[in-house]
Chain A
Amino acid sequence: SQQGEEDPQALSIQEGENATMNCSYKTSINNLQWYRQNSGRGLVHLILIRSNEREKHSGRLRVTLDTSKKSSSLLITASRAADTASYFCATDEKTSGSRLTFGEGTQLTVNP
């Protein structure tokens, strides 16, 4: 990845448990977004957090952003088997125009 890393690369949990995925980036950003991708399919936007925000919620999703550490986390609470997918963070860098730069992704498996 040109921007950063995601941690862990793979995560396997049981239904009902919480899943936490972390993302680090390298440059100054306007915002950070999280996307979900089912195997071989397109990416679906989940949530956006702006650089001046520290935490954001959307349903079972909670995102935090620490610009001093250049890191973000995505928490999925009460996970379901249908949450099984790859999760990518993407940053809108201040110097790169309109493009999004994706992290390496976390493969989440939720076992029923």
Chain B
Amino acid sequence: AAGVIQSPRHLIKEKRETATLKCYPIPRHDTVYWYQQGPGQDPQFLISFYEKMQSDKGSIPDRFSAQQFSDYHSELNMSSLELGDSALYFCASSLAGTGEGGYEKLFFGSGTQLSVL
């Protein structure tokens, strides 16, 4: 079965550079989530999209932006990168209303490891 695809798998950038992370959700999933996980930390919610509209926003810095496109893939754009942005960035997808009792489970990609030097 197709899973959530993230690219690139690894990314190395210099401070103040920009980065674009891509996420391809499971086919027919309509909701995409972005999470950031620092070393030894729990995943922190950044932002989510439902049917191409932003549905929820968490602790996403103003330097970051994201969108979901007509084919449901999503991109996380990160500008003016800082050392502290080094982390594993996960994308997850779900199909609204299909979980147990309507509660959804998320399917995660393998993540993009971003290293800012």
Chain A residues proximal to chain B, CB less than 8 Å: 1-2, 30-31, 33, 35, 40-45, 48, 50, 88, 92, 96-105
Contact B100 A45, beta carbon cutoff 8 Å: no
In whole angstroms, what is the CA distance A44 to B111 when docked? 12
In whole angstroms, what is the CA distance A105 to B43 when docked? 10
Complex interface: chain B residues within 8 A of A100 (CB)? 33, 45, 106
Chain B interface, number of residues (Cβ within 8 angstroms): 33
In whole angstroms, what is the CA distance A112 to B77 when docked? 43
In whole angstroms, what is the CA distance A44 to B33 when docked? 15
Q: Smallest Cβ distance from B98 to chain A, in angstroms? A: 12
Contact B43 A50, beta carbon cutoff 8 Å: no
In whole angstroms, what is the CA distance A106 to B99 when docked? 25
Contact A99 B56, beta carbon cutoff 8 Å: yes
B110 to A, closest residue via Cβ: A42
Q: Which of A30, A48, A88, A96 contacts B43 (CB 8 A)?
A: A88
Contact B109 A42, beta carbon cutoff 8 Å: yes
Q: Which of B31, B41, B103, B110 has the most CB of A within 10 A?
A: B103
